Structure 1
Amino acid sequence: MAKRRKVAAPSADDLNRIEEEFRRETSPRSAMAPISQISADAALSANPVDAKTRAADAKQKADADALQRIREEGRELLSIPLDQIDARAMIRDRTMIDADEMSELTNSIEAHGMRLPIEVFRRETPKDDTKEGRAPYGLLSGFRRYKAMSQLAARRSDPKWQNITAIERDPDALGGAITAMVEENEIRSNLSHYERGRIAVVAAQQGVFGSTEEGVNTLFAVASKAKRSKIRAFALIFEELGDMLMYPEAIKEREGLRLANALRNGSEADLRDILARGTFENAEAEWAALVQVIDAAAPGARKDPARGGRPKGFAAKPGWQADTRVLSSGVTLRHDTDSNGHMIRIGGDVDQALVESALEHLAYLLEKPSD
């Protein structure tokens, strides 16, 4: 029979020693569940913000995002010093400004402020450009408003006239700076026929377009075929006579078509000769000189008897001659019909642009009325 082992109760020293060993071997742990401990640690490390501050931060971020969108869409209004804008950074379509209209605009801006901002584009500065004083912005549209503000700045010491409200545009996104400028003037203040033709020629000469034809088709893409034809006629006038004409903007549409037709028929030398003879006091006197050459070069015009030709009075009198209508200009109109419908035959010295304009008007008259 095995002997029973006698068990002795531990002493107080033994209990203290056991407890000390237990504490050393066991790390202190919280009674919390692990996820609760993580949440508590995150809350302690976070910077607590009240609801009012969080709302203000959210609004500030939304405003910053909205401002960025406005800038990207070209809707941000800028206040730019006048001397930071080069009004001659690109060729202008307007060749003259009416003094009375300019004075009226200046007085209006002085009294009520400038309600419509100008448009500018940021100019590229080449790396090797060391020229000082180069304006960082070029004027895209609003030339008259810019001039009015410049006049006010020159005669007023108030700093408010030294800056102008503007919108920065991306010319490439608008289809080109020149196209954008022309569109702006076509919408707000129509250009003269001569100004339309001139800008197409100058743009082509400066390499913006490959030819005058391309310039007209691009700058006035939304215009009708007849209108583009008229613009090409005035472009020809600028190319051949622009350096000698004193009052080109005063040439009316019909007069311009006659002048362009004379140029096409080889009258350039005679027209330049008569323009070189003297200074004309007004537009009427200049046109009276030009029309002498135009009439002399027109088909059916009376020839010098010494040179032969048909006698005076050859041209038919205005009115109906059988089934043909003779106009005072010498142009004839004849109406006929066949199995396909009606025909109108136009005879005489008629410019193509004028014919196209007549077709546009005829199409308007025959268009079916909308219900």
Structure 2
Amino acid sequence: MAKRRRLTPARPDFFSGDPVPAAGAARAPIAQVAGDVAMTAAFEEVQSELQTAHREGRMVLSLPLDSVKVDYLIRDRMACNSEEMDALKESLRARGQQAPVEVTDLGGGVYGLISGWRRLRALKELHEETGGLARFGQVQALLRLPADRSAAYVAMVEENEIRADLSFYERARIVVKAVSEGVYDSDKQALQSLFSTASFSKRSKVKSFMPLVQALDGVLRYPALIPEKLGLALSKGLSEDTGFAKRLTADLKPGADMSPEVERKVLEAALSPKTSPAPKAPNPQKSEPVSPHGAPSDMPDPFMIATGIRISARRGRVELEGDGVNPGLIERLQDWLRSQG
């Protein structure tokens, strides 16, 4: 018996001339759904990565200058050298902003400046000088999310310790201000937190400048220019003499014009030893034993013979005492005695 052959159905368009979609041209519903799901997942993954990069400060933001609050933190830098600012502005004109500032999101499109005060100020000045040129109207920034204000202050200080040459007065001032703002409970806590990476010697000097900040901040016109040695001496004087701050404030004449050079001379003069009043002349009515050189041979009660030096004498004995009796005086006295033969 012959094997039957299976016939293939005729193509429906064979006679009509209407084309029939080729096999595979139309996607099955399940394939369409799977493709849409994969595309949505990929988009969400990219979006999540972008949000994470934004949150972690790995994405540079372009922010309007007015959206950044400069006074979010009390700045540690008190002044800016005009020559350095001019050089920064020239760099911004020629190459644009190369390093972003650091900000934190305060909500509502407002950001608080953590670090980069000089760059932001330079951009603002350029924006004003150029009549509002658009390229200077935005600041490039990295978003930071400090755990609290203490962490924000630490970030600012660490940034400036690397980039800026801050004076010891400016360093001490940010410690004092952070405590007064309630960021820290004590000077010690603020000092150790803000300058945790600094050497013990540097922290000690910052601490030594704090009495100067506490007594004269707002009175001094150019505190950032006070050199280390002068500042330490002034702080010592303020700590040891309760009336020193009042006298120094009067000498500085608040409200009057004064150049940096004049202010420094006033500060140095305040530390200079004052001329001591001459000792009272001996009473001519009172007879005293007189030495062969015409001076009283016995002075049992010490009196001030020079600044910081008191002297008393008895037959065969002379005593000097006071802060002025130091190795230098002793050495000079020995030289003088040797010269007497």
Q: Of the candidates 251, 254, 258, which is equivalent to residue 274 of structure 1?
A: 251
Question: Unmatched 5+ residue regions in structure 1?
Answer: 1-42, 126-134, 316-328, 334-371
Alignment of 1:273-312 (within 5 A): 273-276=250-253, 279=256, 281-296=258-273, 303-306=276-279, 309-312=303-306
How far off is 1:108 after superposition?
0.8
Q: Of the candidates 212, 215, 228, which is equivalent to residue 240 of structure 1?
A: 215
Alignment of 1:44-193 (within 5 A): 44-48=28-32, 60=43, 63-123=46-106, 136-154=110-128, 155-172=130-147, 175-193=150-168
The 8 Å contact of residues 119 and 140 in structure 1, kept in 2 or not, is answered as: yes
Aligned counterparts of 2:255 and 2:39: Cα–Cα separation in 1: 75
The 8 Å contact of residues 276 and 307 in structure 2, kept in 1 or not, is answered as: no
How far off is 1:192 after superposition?
1.0
Going from structure 1 to structure 2, the CA distance change for 1:251 and 1:158 (only over 3 Å counts) comes to: closer
How far off is 1:164 after superposition?
1.4
How far off is 1:60 after superposition?
4.6
Going from structure 1 to structure 2, the CA distance change for 1:160 and 1:246 (only over 3 Å counts) comes to: closer
Q: Does 1:226 align with 2:201?
A: yes
Aligned counterparts of 1:277 and 1:116: Cα–Cα separation in 2: 39
The 8 Å contact of residues 302 and 310 in structure 1, kept in 2 or not, is answered as: no
Question: Unmatched 5+ residue regions in structure 2?
Answer: 1-26, 281-301, 310-323, 329-341
TM-score under structure 1 length normalisation: 0.62
1:205-248 per-residue CA deviation (whole Å, 9 max, x = no partner) reads: 11112233322222111222221121122221011122322221
Cα RMSD, aligned residues only: 3.3
1:307-356 per-residue CA deviation (whole Å, 9 max, x = no partner) reads: 873323986xxxxxxxxxxxxx97549xxxxxxxxxxxxxxxxxxxxxxx
Going from structure 1 to structure 2, the CA distance change for 1:150 and 1:48 (only over 3 Å counts) comes to: same
Number of aligned positions between the proteins: 265
Going from structure 1 to structure 2, the CA distance change for 1:256 and 1:54 (only over 3 Å counts) comes to: same
The 8 Å contact of residues 119 and 139 in structure 1, kept in 2 or not, is answered as: yes
Which structure would you say has the larger Rg? Answer: 1
Q: Hey, what does 1:257 align to over in structure 2? A: 232
How far off is 1:278 after superposition?
8.8
Identity of aligned residues (%): 32
1:89-131 per-residue CA deviation (whole Å, 9 max, x = no partner) reads: 2211111111121111111111101010111111257xxxxxx
How far off is 1:264 after superposition?
0.9
What one-letter code is carried by the residue in structure 2 that aligns with 1:152?
L
The 8 Å contact of residues 279 and 305 in structure 2, kept in 1 or not, is answered as: no
SS in 2 for 1:227: helix
SS in 1 for 2:306: coil
What one-letter code is carried by the residue in structure 1 that aligns with 2:61?
L
1:60-103 per-residue CA deviation (whole Å, 9 max, x = no partner) reads: 55533432432342211111111211112221111111112111
TM-score under structure 2 length normalisation: 0.67
What one-letter code is carried by the residue in structure 2 that aligns with 1:228?
R
